Amino acid sequence: MDIKKYLPSIITAAAGIFIIIIIPSQIDLSRVRSGNITGVNSRVIPYILSISIVVLSILEILVKTLKNKKNDFLKTNQIKPDYNAFVRVVVTGVLILLWILLMPVLGFVVSMFILMVSIMIMMGNRRWIMMVSTSLITSIALRYVFTNFIGRSLPLGLFF
């Protein structure tokens, strides 16, 4: 175990524990008016923040440990990373960007339909009836919900 990887997290956790210990000596409650029924006083926020620092530091140590175990497993089994998943994420981001740009021109229903069909094709779905029906029902249902229940109008575009 390489301690250098964990040293910043350990120091941060130790600083959080130190802050938890010194909070009572730094924040004097004797000058605060009593009669507070809720139990919330001027020490609550510092306690919440310092406990959060400790918890997040411990989580970072755990994540690094699990990542090291995964890397060791990959090195021993010589498994190559899946680049198709990365390409799918990038293509999905590009499709969403195109959806945002084309929505004012094509309208919400048409652009959402095209986006959903494109993503389904990219993810490997080849059943056209399911792709078309799901995309159409979802697009129309979202438009109905936004216009009738939420009270927000969506772009109409050229077709509607």
Summarised one tens digit per residue, pLDDT across range 31-49 is 666 655 666 677 888 888 8
Assess contact for 50 and 23: CB atoms under 8 A.
yes
Average pLDDT for residues 111-127, to the nearest whole number? 89
CA proximity to 115, closest of 146, 133, 137, 92: 92
Q: Which of 62, 139, 58 is nearest to 103 (CA)?
A: 139
Among residues of the chain, what percentage have pLDDT more than 90? Answer: 28
Task: Parse the chain into domains and list their residue ranges.
Answer: 3-77, 83-150
Is the full-model pTM beyond 0.85?
A: no
More confident residue, 39 or 99: 99
pLDDT digit string (tens) for 130-146? 999 999 999 999 998 88
